[in-house]
Amino acid sequence: MTATDLPVDPTSAPIPSFDDEEDAGRKLVLICSKGSLDMAYPGLVLANAALGEGVETHLFFTFWGFDIINKKTMDALKFTPVGNPATHMPQMLMGLPGMTSFATHMMRKQIEGLDVPAVPEFLDLIRDAGGHLWACRMSADMMHLTEEDLYDGVEGIINASDFIEIAEGAQTIFI
C-alpha cells in the first residue's frame, strides 16, 4: 500500500512509503558496452538513480565500454555526429576534420551546464553510493589491460561465468 492509498484524514499526516521492505532484494545490472561520451552516461545516470533508491547495483564494463573505466580514456570520451541522424545535421559535413572534437566539446559543455559530473567524478559518486564496478576478462585480455590500468573503484576483472552469477535475479540492461 502506498501513502496515496491511505484515507486522507485531516488530523493525521500521510507518511511517504519509502518501500524499503518491498525493494529489499531488488537488484540492477547494467552492461556498459559502448565507449562514446553519449553512450557512457545512460549507464552512469541509471546506476546513480538506482543506488539512490536503495537498489543493489552492478555495472559490468565490456568491449568499448572499457574506455569508461580505463584511467587513460575515462576523462577523454568523445561524441561523434558521424552516422547519427538524430543530430539533425547534414551527414555529408559530419565527417569533416574537427567535427568530432567540436561536437564533443559542445556535449561536455551541455552536460556540465546541467550540473552532471564528468565521467571520473560520476564513477566516484557511484562507488561512494555503494555501487559495484566490474570489468570484463575477455576485453581486458584483448586490450592488454590489467586492474592497474583501470579506475580504482573497479572491484575486479571477471569472466562471463562470474558475471552470470552476479546477475542472478537482477534486472539486466545492455547499453
Partner 1 sequence: MPVATIDGREIHLDDEGFLTDPSEWDEALATRLATNIGIELTDRHLEVIRWARADADEQGETPTLRRLQNVGGFPTKELFQLFPKKPAKKLSYVAGLQKPVGCV
Which residue ranges make up the site for partner 1 (CB under 8 A)? 3-4, 8, 10-18, 20, 23, 45, 48-49, 52-54, 114-117, 122, 125, 128-130
Nearer to partner 1, 8 or 86 (CB): 8
As measured in angstroms, the least distance from the Cβ of 9 to partner 1 is 8
Question: Are the C-beta atoms of 136 and 59 separated by less than 8 Å?
Answer: no
Question: Are the C-beta atoms of 59 and 43 separated by less than 8 Å?
Answer: yes
Provide φ and ψ at 166, rounded to 5°.
-60, -35
As measured in angstroms, the least distance from the Cβ of 153 to partner 1 is 12
Nearer to partner 1, 151 or 163 (CB): 151
Of 25, 22, 29, the C-alpha closest to 165 is 29
Of 81, 94, 77, the C-alpha closest to 42 is 77
Nearer to partner 1, 122 or 163 (CB): 122
Nearer to partner 1, 10 or 98 (CB): 10
As measured in angstroms, the least distance from the Cβ of 157 to partner 1 is 25
Nearer to partner 1, 124 or 162 (CB): 124
In what helix (H) or strand (E) does residue 154 lie, and over which residues does it extend?
strand 154-158
Gap between the Cα atoms of 42 and 124, Å rounded: 16
As measured in angstroms, the least distance from the Cβ of 144 to partner 1 is 33
As measured in angstroms, the least distance from the Cβ of 5 to partner 1 is 10
3-state secondary structure of 150: strand
